Amino acid sequence: MNALEVTARGAIHEGKLEEFKALAAECMRTVREKDSGTLQYNWFLNEAQTECVVREAYRDSEAVLEHIANLGATMRAIVSVCDWTFEVFGSPSPELVEAAAGLSPKVYVPFQSM
């Protein structure tokens, strides 16, 4: 299984909603224009607009590395207005594990699938 899925959950800091929304829009624009291996990239807000969930799917680890590189400064900015947790589903490459170490993702390797 080379494909990877990611669930990112963000708690938006109080008073930072508009900044968050602008940064989220920039993330989406960048992904649409630059990513070549992103298969799914969907953002959701709870009703109170205090929490965000991003559902992501990638062709492989290299596609995630490309995604991280493409977002660069925008990713650094959005982590300053949200407290994020990340879950990775699949078998990330050692390079991806190293690159994402600062984000402290929980990794779930394949057990059963259909």
Residues 6+ apart with CB under 8 A from 30: 70, 71, 74
What are 84's strand-pairing partners?
10
Report pLDDT for 1.
55
What kind of architecture, by CATH, is found in domain 4-108? 2-Layer Sandwich (3.30)
pTM, full prediction: 0.94
Q: Rounded to whole angstroms, how far apart are CA atoms 53 and 24?
A: 11
Residue type at position 104: S
Q: Rounded to whole angstroms, how far apart are CA atoms 52 and 105?
A: 16
pLDDT tens by residue, 5-64: 999 999 999 999 999 999 999 999 999 999 999 999 999 999 999 999 999 999 999 999
pLDDT tens by residue, 63-74: 999 999 999 999
